[in-house]
């Protein structure tokens, strides 16, 4: 067992060996520019198109509806600003939620500074948006609804299908940031009823520095960057062929192993929670409704234990993250936990433990032992 045990897969994942293998020829030999008409260019173009089809298959769309970007942040920027700008003749109102990643909230705040009106929907105690709130927030000038599929900190899954139906009924473009859900739960764009969907490569065992945006055919969007004609001119710039090939392979593997991976992630999370509860009893507080949560994510607070102290105390053995930031002795609670109205003590004691597709029983049992010992020492 390699130490420290990594249980922060929502932060990032390692590159899958199958993905690395697929990328290697493009690092070592196949250097052609996909826009060149001679053979080493054409073969790279084909590699990019193969990747596009692989990504499309995972989310059940057409290959031509996938646009490669550098990361989820870029995909979100393109989706939100692109739709807002393209529809400014119709209106300047955007609906989002209070528990989005900064890659959405900061874009909305920027647009707000440019004269757009943003509605920030509140969530319930588990971090879930009520579709009725979405419906009630719709106005004549609403041009976009952007609500994440699953939350990165607590794992709560949003009722995207219901929101999608509302968006469609009202003829409003609907974007979801699916950075945390792709490869973990089903992300079929038609079933979800979304017009745009963000994918983050490094959350699904592709390298960092590659993302994608699904844009439903016929959706009016403005590009952020202007240049040559790559990605149909919507995201110009010479393609990152190496990482694109990696993302394509990662999506193929995610689709092939979907059931097995989901089962493994859920089993490891369940084993972890059972072990902790059996040894610590009601000192363990689960922050979310586990029936409506990503299979790999556990947001828990341990009574009277500072999450920061705990995470750093165990960091040579197990790597987890916290729901608060600590600077010069002052604790700031994350905006997600604040939106969930978690009391300060519970929020300051909250850790996020996120398992991976290959997390083993041995790793989980060791983690339980490490956490229980640490909590006993710290209380």
Ligand X SMILES: Cc1ncc(COP(=O)(O)O)c(C=O)c1O
Which residues are identified as catalytic?
Answer: 326
User: Of 34 and 127, which has the nearer Cβ to ligand X?
Assistant: 127
In whole angstroms, how close is the CB of 37 to ligand X at the nearest point? 33
By CB under 6 A, is residue 148 in contact with ligand X? yes
User: Of 71 and 348, which has the nearer Cβ to ligand X?
Assistant: 71
By CB under 6 A, is residue 212 in contact with ligand X? no
Alpha carbon distance 338, 376 (integer Å): 27
CB-based contact 270:340 (threshold 8 Å)? no
In whole angstroms, how close is the CB of 201 to ligand X at the nearest point? 8
Alpha carbon distance 340, 324 (integer Å): 13
Alpha carbon distance 80, 258 (integer Å): 29
- Near ligand X by CB under 6 A: residue from 58, 72, 94, 221: 72
By CB under 6 A, is residue 8 in contact with ligand X? no
Name the one range near ligand X by CB under 6 A: 14-22, 65-73, 132-140, 264-272: 65-73
Residues in 274-333 at the binding interface with ligand X, rule: CB under 6 A: none
Can you read off the two tokens belonging to residue 95?
Answer: 């609906």
By CB under 6 A, is residue 103 in contact with ligand X? yes
User: Of 336 and 347, which has the nearer Cβ to ligand X?
Assistant: 336
By CB under 6 A, is residue 97 in contact with ligand X? no
- Near ligand X by CB under 6 A: residue from 19, 59, 71, 374: 71
3-state secondary structure the chain: CCCCEECECCCCCCCCHHHHHHHHHHHHCCCCCCCCCCHHHHHHHHHHHHHHHHHHHHHCCCHHHEEEECCHHHHHHHHHHHHHHHCCCCCCEEEEECCCCHHHHHHHHHHHHCCCEEEEECECCCCCECHHHHHHHCCCCEEEEECCCECCCCCEECCHHHHHHHHHHCCCEEEEECCCCECCECCCHHHHCCCEEEEEHHHCCCCCCCEEEEECCCCCCCCCCCCCCHHHHCCCCCCCHHHHHHHHHHHHHHHHCHHHHHHHHHHHHHHHHHHHHHHHHHHEEECCCHHHECCCEEEEEECCCCHHHHHHHCCCCEECEECEEEECCEEEECHHHHHCCCCHHHHHCEEEEECCCCCCHHHHHHHHHHHHHHHHHHC
x/- letters, 13..52, toward ligand X (CB under 6 A): ----------------------------------------
x/- letters, 157..196, toward ligand X (CB under 6 A): --------------------x-xx----------------
Alpha carbon distance 83, 17 (integer Å): 37
In whole angstroms, how close is the CB of 14 to ligand X at the nearest point? 15
User: Of 177 and 239, which has the nearer Cβ to ligand X?
Assistant: 177
User: Of 72 and 250, which has the nearer Cβ to ligand X?
Assistant: 72
In whole angstroms, how close is the CB of 101 to ligand X at the nearest point? 4
User: Of 101 and 357, which has the nearer Cβ to ligand X?
Assistant: 101
User: Of 80 and 368, which has the nearer Cβ to ligand X?
Assistant: 80
- Near ligand X by CB under 6 A: residue from 197, 200, 251, 371: 200
In whole angstroms, how close is the CB of 339 to ligand X at the nearest point? 14
By CB under 6 A, is residue 84 in contact with ligand X? no
By CB under 6 A, is residue 101 in contact with ligand X? yes
Alpha carbon distance 226, 235 (integer Å): 8
End-to-end CA distance of the chain: 28
In whole angstroms, how close is the CB of 321 to ligand X at the nearest point? 10
| Pairing of the two strands 318-319 and 321-322 | unpaired
User: Of 65 and 177, which has the nearer Cβ to ligand X?
Assistant: 177
By CB under 6 A, is residue 73 in contact with ligand X? yes
By CB under 6 A, is residue 247 in contact with ligand X? no
In whole angstroms, how close is the CB of 148 to ligand X at the nearest point? 5
Binding site for ligand X (CB under 6 A): 71-73, 101, 103, 148, 152, 177, 179-180, 200, 202
């Amino acid at each position: 067992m390699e130490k420290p045990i990594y249980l922060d897969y929502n932060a990032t994942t390692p590159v899958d060996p199958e993905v690395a293998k697929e990328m290697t020829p493009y690092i070592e030999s196949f250097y052609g520019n996909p826009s060149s008409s001679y053979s080493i260019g054409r073969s790279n173009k084909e590699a990019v198109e193969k990747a596009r089809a692989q990504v499309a298959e995972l989310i059940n769309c057409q290959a031509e509806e996938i646009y490669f970007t550098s990361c989820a942040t870029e995909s979100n920027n393109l989706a939100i600003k692109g739709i807002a700008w393209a529809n400014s003749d119709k209106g300047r109102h955007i609906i989002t939620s209070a528990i989005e990643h900064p890659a959405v909230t900061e874009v909305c705040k920027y647009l707000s500074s440019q004269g757009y009106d943003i509605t920030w929907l509140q969530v319930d105690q588990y971090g879930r948006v009520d579709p009725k709130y979405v419906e009630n927030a719709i106005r004549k000038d609403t041009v976009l609804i952007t609500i994440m599929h699953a939350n990165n900190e607590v794992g709560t899954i949003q009722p995207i299908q219901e929101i999608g139906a509302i968006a469609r009924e009202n003829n409003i473009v609907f974007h979801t940031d699916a950075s945390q859900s792709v490869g973990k739960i089903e992300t079929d764009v038609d079933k979800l009823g979304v017009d745009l969907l963000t994918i983050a490569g490094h959350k699904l065992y592709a390298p960092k520095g590659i993302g994608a945006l699904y844009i439903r055919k016929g959706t009016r969007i403005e590009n952020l960057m202007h240049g040559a004609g790559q990605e149909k001119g919507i995201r110009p710039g010479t393609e990152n062929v190496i990482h694109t090939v990696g993302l394509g392979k990662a999506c193929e593997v995610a689709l092939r192993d979907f059931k097995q991976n989901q089962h493994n992630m859920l089993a490891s999370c369940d084993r972890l929670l059972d072990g902790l509860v059996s040894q610590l009893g009601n000192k363990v507080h689960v922050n979310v409704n586990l029936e409506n949560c990503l299979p790999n994510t556990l947001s828990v607070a341990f009574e009277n234990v500072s999450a920061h102290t705990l995470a750093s105390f165990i960091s040579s053995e197990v790597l987890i993250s916290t729901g608060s930031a600590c600077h010069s002795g002052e604790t700031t609670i994350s905006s997600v936990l604040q939106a969930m109205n978690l009391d300060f003590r519970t929020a300051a004691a909250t850790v996020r433990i996120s398992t991976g597709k290959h997390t083993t029983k041995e790793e989980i049992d060791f983690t339980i032992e490490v956490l229980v010992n640490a909590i006993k020492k710290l209380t």
